[in-house]
Amino acid sequence: MTDKSYQPTLAGLRAFAAVAENHHFSSAATALGVSQSTLSQALAALEAGLGVQLIERSTRQVFLTPEGEQLLPPAQAVVEAAAAFSAAAAGSADPLQGTLRVGLIPTVAPYVLPAMLTGLAHRLPQLKLRVVEDQTARLLTTLREGALDAALLALPAEAGGLTEIPLYDEDFVLALPPGHALAGKRKVDPSVLGRLPLLLLDEGHCLRDQTLEVCRGAGVRAEVADTRAASLATAVQCVAGGLGVTLIPASAVAVEAARSQLALARFGVPRPGRRIGLVFRSSSGREEHYRRLAEAFIDALGADPAVRPWRGAVSTARG
């Protein structure tokens, strides 16, 4: 009689399914990688717990009883589900072999993402990237809440509980209307920003804050133009139309200069710029994997002359 409180073990169900499929105890034991006595004990315990004979044994044959025929399909389903569960767990143990949700700020995504995606396809072919583009504050919130796995941001992120891995440094370039007196200059002093109508991105864009910081570092007060833009591409179009000047990261120059009649000027040494890095939750326990991801990003950007890939990066945890 079946004990209704009995819960079959996975070992017993595996033994039953293997014997049923192989019609031979020795072959079934070999398939499971266990001894024949271990297999027999697991099957006997299953039958005893169920109060049902599943396998009929003889000196020459092994075959299913009617009850065994009836119970084999659900037993196989459980064994297959357990195997699928183990496979999924193995995949989740290495996030670079599954789906990874990565956020990028708008002044990074359009300019370095193509090279990064191409590089990842070669270096981490099992990785499926889900990209979220948003401003820094919202990315940090989403990251802390667990809806993102990592993000590419300007460093330092200045947020607790996060670890940062630098990826690359890049200079800021002064974008000017065509024919501007500074066009083509290569040693411009940042103090000129105090005498130029400066176009800024909307509140929330880190490039806006970085631009104002460059002005403060040069000891000048920015002459902010009335025009503001929601995207760097819009700001560049406004500059090309003569509405002011703006700072753009070097990684954006090739794209923006190709689609706009834009003049450029470079700053002298020390050149103002920014550092972009990979940021993730320190509590995730995935630092080793994210270091591999960072290395793949850095390698993918190695041929881009606009950026200086970071080598020998040391992560920084912010408590």
In sequence order, what are the residues at sequence separation of 6 or more whose Cβ sits closer than 8 angstroms to the Cβ of residue 19? 25, 28, 39, 43, 55, 62
- 99-104/128-133 β-pairing: parallel
Cα separation, 308 vs 167, whole angstroms: 9
SS3 261: coil
pLDDT in tens, 83-105: 778 766 665 567 788 888 999 99
- Look at residue 15 and tell me whether its pLDDT is greater than 80: yes
- State the average pLDDT over residues 273-294: 92
Best mean pLDDT range from 28-32, 231-235, 307-311? 231-235
Cα separation, 283 vs 281, whole angstroms: 5
pLDDT confidence bin for 285, thresholds 50/70/90? confident
In sequence order, what are the residues at sequence separation of 6 or more whose Cβ sits closer than 8 angstroms to the Cβ of residue 189? 218, 267, 268
Cα separation, 228 vs 175, whole angstroms: 15
Question: Which of the 8 DSSP states describes residue 134?
Answer: -
Domains of the chain: 10-90 (1.10.10.10), 96-318 (3.40.190.290)
pLDDT confidence bin for 252, thresholds 50/70/90? very high
Name residue 18's amino acid: A
pLDDT confidence bin for 1, thresholds 50/70/90? low
Q: Which two tokens stand for residue 304?
A: 């881009």
In this prediction, residue 95 carries a pLDDT of: 75
Lowest-confidence range among 27-36, 167-176, 208-217?
27-36
pLDDT in tens, 143-169: 988 889 999 999 998 778 899 999 999
